[in-house]
Amino acid sequence: MNIPSKILENAVDQIASLPGIGKKTALRLSLSLLKRSNSEVSDFVHAIDELKKSIQLCDTCYNLSDEKKCKVCSNSSRDHGLVCVVEDIRDVMAIESTSQFKGVYHVLGGIISPLDGIGPNDLRITELLSRVNNAPKIKELILALSTTMEGDTTAFYLYRKLQDQEIEISTIARGVSIGDELEYIDEITLGRSILQRTPYQNTLHKQS
């Protein structure tokens, strides 16, 4: 591309460094920013600047937060004995939007992935173990990790680390998605959903 200005080129390069944004899109976005008023652009810049400068990680669950404790951890009406272990904060947001979970979270900050050079020490596993040993007493850990090789590895690693503790360890249910037609479902999911069938009356009253 033949960008006529170094300043514009610099902005395009920076925007194109974001994941999934190519040079042409970056140019389109830069030009749309240029068309805005000064105050609009400074609001934009300020919001991103603040994002990095002021946001914190909750010191208990490592969810993103504006304060030292996130909204979930500082909410006394939630069950602090029930901890859902997730890969990152997008999973927290996804689970929160179901309104089905009344416990608290622990954000690992990734999953074990040897191909990407991520081992157990890169995740917040030590922090999870110390949380299990300290008050408030945790009764149950729900492993809500992706159903991938990496997710299963991480879940198994956590299980091995925690199996001697007096704590219940569960994983979220794997099975056929609601709305799916059986004939189109892959064999592994369908096979598992038969092996791990649940009593019908349990499906009538869903509780977290």
- Site residues for its own copies per CB under 8 A: 1-8, 10-11, 13-15, 17-21, 25, 27-34, 36, 38, 41-45, 47-52, 54-55, 63-66, 70-72, 88-90, 92-93, 96-97
User: Considering beta carbons, is residue 41 or 188 the nearer one to its own copies?
Assistant: 41
The helix/strand/coil state of 113 is strand
**To the nearest whole angstrom, how small is the minimum distance from the Cβ of residue 60 to its own copies?**
13
**To the nearest whole angstrom, how small is the minimum distance from the Cβ of residue 71 to its own copies?**
6
User: Considering beta carbons, is residue 67 or 180 the nearer one to its own copies?
Assistant: 67
Residue 166 neighbours by CB under 8 Å, 6+ apart: none
DSSP letters spanning 3-68: -S-HHHHHHHHHHHTSTT--HHHHHHHHHHHHTS-HHHHHHHHHHHHHHHHH-EE-TTT--EESSS
User: Considering beta carbons, is residue 57 or 132 the nearer one to its own copies?
Assistant: 57
The helix/strand/coil state of 115 is helix
User: Considering beta carbons, is residue 45 or 149 the nearer one to its own copies?
Assistant: 45
**To the nearest whole angstrom, how small is the minimum distance from the Cβ of residue 73 to its own copies?**
10
Residue 9 neighbours by CB under 8 Å, 6+ apart: 3
**To the nearest whole angstrom, how small is the minimum distance from the Cβ of residue 177 to its own copies?**
19
User: Considering beta carbons, is residue 79 or 96 the nearer one to its own copies?
Assistant: 96
**To the nearest whole angstrom, how small is the minimum distance from the Cβ of residue 10 to its own copies?**
5
User: Considering beta carbons, is residue 93 or 188 the nearer one to its own copies?
Assistant: 93
Cα-only R_g, the chain: 22
Closest listed residue to residue 167, CA positions, set 124, 131, 132: 132
Residue whose tokens read 């304060």:
67
**To the nearest whole angstrom, how small is the minimum distance from the Cβ of residue 204 to its own copies?**
27
* Nearest-angstrom CA–CA distance, 183 and 168: 35
* Nearest-angstrom CA–CA distance, 86 and 106: 6
